[in-house]
């Protein structure tokens, strides 16, 4: 069973990503053309959910943490790609956090 300290960097990246994805989703709802941001908002919410789950499972030392982190990396990458399409500060920050989280999750799961 792994400990929190072994995965601390990945846990922190996941929690940061989740917080920024929440901020991005909330900010996207305030954009002039909300319909255009619908896919971004959806991915932000999915990313937040999986990042919290991954962080929680890693902190618990779950045997399934690596599998969840692989899925988390995939969702983070999809969210980063979508956010990169939008020229807003919140989407830029989100894309950056998602890329970092995906990188940490890939390292953790390898």
Q: Is the sign of the CA dihedral 9, 11, 14, 17 positive or negative?
A: negative
CATH T-level assignment (fold) for domain 4-109: Substrate Binding Domain Of Dnak; Chain:A; Domain 2 (1.20.1270)
In this prediction, residue 5 carries a pLDDT of: 80
Per-residue pLDDT tens digits for 21-52: 999 999 999 998 889 999 999 999 999 999 99
Residue 50: closest CA among 34, 42, 93, 31: 42
Per-residue pLDDT tens digits for 84-102: 999 999 999 999 999 999 9
Read off the pLDDT band of 1 (50, 70, 90): very low
In this prediction, residue 2 carries a pLDDT of: 55
**Nearest-angstrom CA–CA distance, 12 and 54:** 11
**Among the residues of 5-88, which ranges form H helices?**
8-28, 38-60, 65-83
**Nearest-angstrom CA–CA distance, 58 and 43:** 22
Give Cβ neighbours of residue 82 (< 8 Å, ≥ 6 apart). Answer: 39, 40, 43
Say what the pTM is. Answer: 0.93
The helix/strand/coil state of 78 is helix
Q: Percent of the chain at pLDDT above 70?
A: 97
């Amino acid at each position: 069973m792994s400990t929190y300290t072994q995965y601390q960097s990945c846990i922190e990246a996941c929690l940061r990503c989740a917080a920024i994805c929440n901020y991005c989703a909330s900010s996207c709802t305030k954009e002039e053309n909300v319909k255009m941001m619908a896919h971004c908002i959806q991915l932000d919410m999915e990313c937040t959910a999986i990042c919290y789950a991954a962080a929680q499972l890693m902190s618990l030392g779950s045997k399934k943490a690596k599998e969840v982190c692989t899925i988390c990396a995939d969702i983070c990458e999809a969210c980063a790609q979508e956010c990169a399409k939008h020229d807003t500060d919140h989407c830029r920050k989100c894309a950056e956090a998602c890329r970092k989280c995906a990188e940490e999750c890939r390292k953790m799961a390898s």
